[in-house]
A and B are shown apart, each in its own frame.
Chain A
């Protein structure tokens, strides 16, 4: 059993979908929506999940990316094409 608060406007939209025959009842509509939500996040990469957390303001701020230096990376570099100067 799950109890949730949904706005009256959204409930009206769900009822419309039910009367169109898309869902049998409110419960089926909500279950379908939650199934899609769970599927969406189970398919995504850790980076995509971190982005969702970031956008929701729920990602802990713990790192200093500038400390990530990739030493020995300059061999065979031709970055001018990518980073050319003015």
Chain B
């Protein structure tokens, strides 16, 4: 299963047609239509924050529910951690690889998702070789599908 980054979905939902990444971004999402794909809960919450700031809180809340109810998207949650101590222990492992906190949260979810084949994002460099799954941009992903 491919896991989509919040940046890919932001470009789509905000219909950023002036962005040079838009065509490949849309191309990939079209190719993936009808196929099950993942989004981490942290990625989804990040997307919701951007939509709330740019569009409005009502639309952001609707979008959140819509992803939970989606037939094609699987919202991936991390394994439950019952204390701050275990969270700090887990996070330290990722943060010391040089990941930002946001990427560390995403990496934690990907690591606990054996079905995750690749993580799709335009912001590949900060993640590449620092997480267990392959990281591809939408353009690269499209090329592998051709």
Contacts and interface: CB of A to CB of B under 8 A. Distances in A.
B72 interface: yes
Contact of A54 (B11, B21, B71, B75): B75
B122 A86 contact: yes
Interface range on chain A: under 10, 10 to 19, 20 to 34, or 35 or more? Answer: 20 to 34
Given A70-B55, A73-B54, A84 B16 contact: no
B77 A55 contact: yes
Given A65-B73, A83-B10, A74 B18 contact: yes
Interface in B45-92: 50-51, 54-55, 59, 61-73, 75, 77
Interface stretch (A3-11, A27-35, A36-44, A45-53): A45-53
B13 interface: yes
A22 interface: no
A54 B34 CA distance: 20
Contacts of B65: 46-47, 50, 63
A71 interface: yes
B130 interface: no
B1 interface: no
Contacts of A70: 13-15, 51, 54-55, 59
Contacts of A68: 13, 59, 62-63, 66
Interface of B: 7, 10-19, 21, 29, 33, 50-51, 54-55, 59, 61-73, 75, 77, 122-125, 137
